[in-house]
A and B are shown apart, each in its own frame.
Chain A
Amino acid sequence: MKETHSAHSEEKCTSYTYGNNPLPTALGISILLLLSVFMPLASAQESPYIVTYDHYLEEPGNLEVEYFSTLGTQRGGDEFLAYWVELEYGAKAWWTTEFYLDGQTTFSDSTIFTGFRWENRIRPLEREHFINPVLYLEYEQINEADKIIKEVEGHDIEADHAVPNAIARQTLDHELEFKLLLSKMFKGWNVAVNPLADKNLSPSNPWEFGYAIGASRPLALKASAKSCNFCPENVIAGAELYGGLGDTQSFGLHETSHYLAPAVAWNLPSGWTLRLSPGFGLNDNSHRLLLRWGLSREFSGFGEMVGRLFGGHP
């Protein structure tokens, strides 16, 4: 939710600046390397989605460390590279909790840390159903220079990201975001629909709405007998469609942005997952291109390790 920018001192701006060594990148790579050395790996079967969620949660006790980048084109401003690290933990088989750190580099401008998010996904139903719902609740504390575009909501448009970092980062937003994650598997296809509602906690801001829809399928439905990197069952391909739906004061498609993004995930037997997704803006309010890629790895036994720190038996 964008607010009107007010003039602030340059001294205040520096409190959110991490120079040219952005926290999410450094932290993400450090955690990935550290855990790769000390913790057992778990094999993942990750979907290719970057914005959409299906109904599958993290396996209990496992920690997944993910690093993502988005290269965005910008009319009326400088292109940018936004990045974030996700620490996703399976607290229970029915509850996944996730912590994000966001940052961005706007070319010819600066590199800054833009905030954090805490996300929770809860599966209310015990078994698989015709459509499987998951409840999603996220708290965000991000400044308005955040450009990861993890979701599009309300009247978010490309022009919001043309504001120079020195000005945009001065406005800090506290937001609560609710999503209903609906997902279904059918003959190897996953179809997921995520309506969302977002509230900036400033009283004057309206509720904002958005959507994400995804469909994906592995290239092969049967596993081959041998372990292989290039087996078709390791590759899941699909597409996402996401955008804003206005707010309580102006609901609809007027002044909103929308994207269509083919996406592919390559799940390697070594436990690494690579994702690639070029997203194309569907109207003049959208960035022309959002090129995203991600690298993730899942580690088993993280919960037990933390349990031992609290005094539980190994």
Chain B
Amino acid sequence: MKPAARVHRVVVALSVSAFVAFGIYDAFAQRGDSEATEHDHLHHHHLAEFAKVPNQARIRHNPLETDRDAVAAGKKLFQQHCAECHGTTAEGGKKAPNLRAEEVQQATPGTLFWILTNGVVRRGMPVWSKLPEPERWQIVTFIKSLTPKTASPSGGQINSGPLATTHTGSQR
């Protein structure tokens, strides 16, 4: 067998093995935890990120806090980019925490902006710096406009009703 053909077979075999191994690992990883435990871990791990936010970022002022279109625009962006994981009502899902949780609602706009910009990559949240800075502030404005609601112990979407305050434009 020619060296190139041998290398080709090795590469293809490794590729197939990697895909299969990843699929099996992922399936067993999902089986390992109960949904409640999984959700608790998710919630705490993500909230632990708040402690890592630098002070300078934490105290940043939201330049769009008083922009009258920011909540509506932020809601639109949230539905486009965030609802897939955080749920259409922002109450969390299997992959991402409840954004109406007290800890999130009490966080400063700068903290939320920093998390949005940097993601929580090792926990599955991508970086969102690809959205221009004003759009990220619009999302923060929308999140801060939500009615606080405690997460259910089993996680998931406890109330699939409409976003209570998104049309009012109320802001903290």
Which chain A residues have a beta carbon within 8 Å of chain B's beta carbons? Answer: 40, 42-43, 45, 47, 54, 56-57, 59-62, 90-94, 118, 123, 126-128, 139, 141, 174, 185, 187-188, 190, 201-203, 218, 221-227, 233, 269, 300, 303, 306-307, 309-313
Contact = CB atoms under 8 A, between A and B. Distances in A.
Contacts of A309: 23
24 contacts: A45-B130, A56-B126, A60-B126, A61-B95, A92-B124, A93-B119, A93-B121, A93-B122, A93-B126, A118-B15, A127-B118, A127-B121, A139-B15, A141-B8, A174-B4, A201-B8, A202-B4, A221-B133, A223-B135, A224-B76, A233-B132, A307-B26, A310-B27, A312-B29
B150 to A, nearest CB: 25
Contacts of A221: 132-135
Contacts of A225: 69, 72-73, 76
Given A202-B4, A307-B30, A223 B130 contact: no
Q: Which applies to chain A's interface (DSSP): helix, strand, loop or mixed? A: loop
Given A56-B130, A223-B77, A225-B72, A91 B22 contact: yes
B122 A224 contact: no
Of A59, A118, A188, which is in contact with the most chain B CB atoms at under 10 Å from its CB? A59
B130 to A, nearest CB: 5
B77 A303 contact: no
B125 A227 contact: no
A225 B64 CA distance: 13
B129 A185 contact: yes
Interface in B88-115: 95
A56 B132 CA distance: 13
Contacts of B118: 126-128
Contacts of A269: 80
Contacts of A227: 76
Nearest to A222: B134
Q: Which applies to chain B's interface (DSSP): helix, strand, loop or mixed? A: helix
B145 interface: no
A306 B132 CA distance: 33
B135 to A, nearest CB: 5
Interface residues of B, number: 46
A180 B79 CA distance: 33
A300 B96 CA distance: 14
**4 tightest CB-CB pairs across the interface, nearest first?**
A310-B27, A312-B30, A43-B80, A225-B72
Of B74, B77, B131, which is in contact with the most chain A CB atoms at under 10 Å from its CB? B131
Contact of A126 (B7, B30, B121): B121
B23 A310 contact: yes
A223 B121 contact: no
A305 to B, nearest CB: 12
A310 B15 contact: no
Contact of B129 (A90, A128, A203): A128
A312 to B, nearest CB: 4
Nearest to A298: B84
Contacts of A91: 22
Nearest to B79: A43
Contacts of B122: 93-94, 126
A217 to B, nearest CB: 8
Contact of A223 (B3, B24, B73): B73
B138 A223 contact: yes
B112 to A, nearest CB: 15
Contacts of B124: 60, 92-93
B4 A201 contact: yes
A221 B120 CA distance: 24
Contacts of B72: 225-226
A174 B7 contact: yes
B44 interface: no
Contacts of B15: 118, 139
Given A92-B124, A126-B121, A307 B73 contact: no
